[in-house]
Amino acid sequence: MPADKKPTASVWSRPRPRQREHLTREQIVAEAIRLLDEEGIEALSMRRLGTRLNAAATSIYRHVASKYELIELVVDDVYGEPGMPATADSEQWRAAVTRTATELRAMVLRHPWIAPELGQVGLVHIGPNAIGMSSGLLAQFEAAGFPADEMDQAVGTLMAYVIGTAVSEAAYLSGIARSGKSEEQWVAELRPAFDEASREHPRLRQGSSAQPDADPQRIRDDSFAYGLDRVLDGLAARLDA
């Protein structure tokens, strides 16, 4: 199957193969994540993974039918890193949602290779960890008082902001990492060009991100928190309405 052609089936839509040898699906997924974290998505292949596991590629294919299925598995595995949303509470729903959203963003930034893969897997994630997160968030919005026909839309709106922002942020950081420079170095080297380009656009020089001593990571954290608060403000307004 061509590498760029997505199969219509999902690893979650068929029975899990019976284990017939020492190599387990969990070992395959764990090693694939280590490979992806170390070398990126371009380095992932069944042969390369088999070498790291001291196993033939055919052994891996007994557990997953394709590289696409493997990506489904690793994406769902890292979805299990953020803590499950806390017990639903009408008074604490916003704090719980904020915590889950912040942990989800951190997960994407820990595994920047996942950024394009979230889009490749699709908008519907049916692995157990992704389902658990969605269910936990739905419970929070239900406790908050959202009607049944709006809860999934509220979760979708939240996830669109979190994933969209984190994916863009991960791509930005990956580009900097390929340069071999730290984010601080990269921003410092770009500053003279920014100052020159913004000379006739004073509004661009008024924000906190334009200040010479601004910490770029702090700016990213603050920007994410600001946007998340505004999304939740908008959703909370539906309750008042």
pLDDT tens, residue by residue, 142-182: 999 999 999 999 999 999 999 999 999 999 998 898 899 99
Residue 13 has pLDDT above 70, yes or no: no
Categorize the per-residue pLDDT at 123 as very low, low, confident or very high, splitting at 50, 70 and 90. Answer: very low
Of residues 15 and 8, more confidently modeled:
15
In 111-127, where does DSSP find H-type helix? Answer: 114-121
Residue 161 near residue 228, CB atoms below 8 Å: yes
Distance CA 49, CA 31 (A): 7
Residue ranges per structural domain of the chain:
11-78, 82-240
CATH of range 82-240; options 3.20.20.80, 1.10.357.10, 3.90.190.10, 1.10.150.120? 1.10.357.10
pLDDT at 202: 79
User: What is the reported pTM?
Assistant: 0.84
**CATH topology assigned to domain 11-78:** Arc Repressor Mutant, subunit A (1.10.10)
Of residues 89 and 33, more confidently modeled:
33
